[in-house]
Amino acid sequence: MGSPSRFGDRAFEWLTMAMAGAVALLVILVGWQLSRDSMLAIHQFGWNFLVSTTWDPVAEQFGAAPFIYGTLVSSLIALIIAVPLSIATAVYLTELAPLSIRQPIISLIEMLAAIPSVILGLWGIFVMIPFLRDYPFPFLKKYFGWSGLFTGPIYGVSMLAGGIIIAVMILPIITSVSREILRSVPNLQREAAYALGATRWEVTRIAVLSYARKGLFGAVILGLGRALGETMAVTMVIGNTPQIVLSLLKPGYTLASVIANEFTEATTELYLQALFEIALVLFGITILANLLAQLLLKTMGTTQTTRAVQ
């Protein structure tokens, strides 16, 4: 082998190394850029930014608490709806469904994952919101109003509507990652339980679900990471009002939606910097969620889990 090809080898390896290293650089770049452009706001408000409930662009008082609250509550609603449904569907697809219908259902779930957020939002505005306003919301208010969660005037656009639309967005990812995890449970586990005379449900519960607990938790956290950063669909149905109220029928606001709505309207330097800081907070929260999710999934010993649909 001559030296020219040695050089070619060296150069090609370095080139690909630089490209692969780009992912690490990107994470640093994002963190650096967001911190740099929010420096002014960070100095001005300090830690108070995270707990202050005032968001007043005119008086130049900025606090992120209503958005952090909205992001957490809407994501929590989404998880409460999506987690049982997704995991049950994953169980159905790996343990119960006839082989012939598994692939069609999986394809349909992949199609759901392919629908852009903005289109789900469009559907949310014109189909889901009117429906929620006319039927389920009055019902919840009448029979569960005493809990304090379902009180006040019904507009349709609300924290609950935001949570529901996020749930739809994260159903496919939690389902497909859970499915991969359940598939990685060794058949020996199931056979052992069957041999003891367990019913199908007992096999699933004792041998499969408890074995896969850690990975399923990872799938849920991965879904949480997606939920926290979901932007367009939520922005279109959550009502975009910065307030901290118990009632889920009232409008809310999330970190991602305030950026989407107000970024191009930020007229003053401090306003823009406050929005950059909101993006920094969002980036921090989602990175943490994703780190945790990947750690749980990677230590499960499955290799394919993170590829999934999205």
Partner 1 sequence: MIKASGGDRHRWRKFKSGLASTLSFSSALLVIAPLALVFFHLVISGATSVNWDFFTHLPAPVGEKGGGMANAIVGTLELLALASLVGVPIGVLGGVYLAEYGSARINWGLRFVADVLNGVPSITWGVVVYGLVVLRFKSFSAYAGGLALGLMMIPLIMRTTEEVLLLVPNGYREASLALGIARWKTIVHIVMKTASKGIVTGILLALARIAGETAPLLFTAFGNRFWNHDLAEPIAALPLQIFAYAISPYDDWHRQAWAGALILVVGIFFINVLVRFLTRERTATVL
Give whichever of 73 and 228 is closer to partner 1, judged by the CB atom.
228
> Within positions 206 to 245, which residues make up the interface with partner 1, using CB under 8 A?
222, 225-226, 228-232, 236
Yes or no: say if 138 and 154 are a contact pair by the CB < 8 Å rule: yes
Give whichever of 41 and 279 is closer to partner 1, judged by the CB atom.
279
Distance between CA atoms of 191 and 183, rounded to whole angstroms?
A: 14
Non-local (6+) Cβ contacts of 257 within 8 A are: 67, 70, 231, 234, 235, 238, 240
Show the site string, 82-121: x = touches partner 1 by CB under 8 A, - = not: --xxx-xx-xxx-xxx-------x--xxxxx-xxxxxxxx
Q: Applying CB under 8 A, does 191 fall inside the site for partner 1?
A: no
> Within positions 151 to 190, which residues make up the interface with partner 1, using CB under 8 A?
168, 171-172, 175
Work out which of 40, 42, 245, 287 binds partner 1, going by CB under 8 A: 287
Distance between CA atoms of 267 and 269, rounded to whole angstroms?
A: 7
Task: Determine the angle formed by the axes of helices 269-298 and 213-229, rounding to 10 degrees.
Answer: 160
Question: Binding residues for partner 1, how many (CB under 8 A)?
Answer: 96
> Within positions 1 to 20, which residues make up the interface with partner 1, using CB under 8 A?
1, 5-6, 8-9, 11-13, 15-17, 19-20
> Within positions 19 to 78, which residues make up the interface with partner 1, using CB under 8 A?
19-24, 26-27, 29-30, 33-34, 36-37
Give whichever of 253 and 276 is closer to partner 1, judged by the CB atom.
276
Distance between CA atoms of 138 and 158, rounded to whole angstroms?
A: 13
Pairing of the two strands 61-62 and 55-56: antiparallel
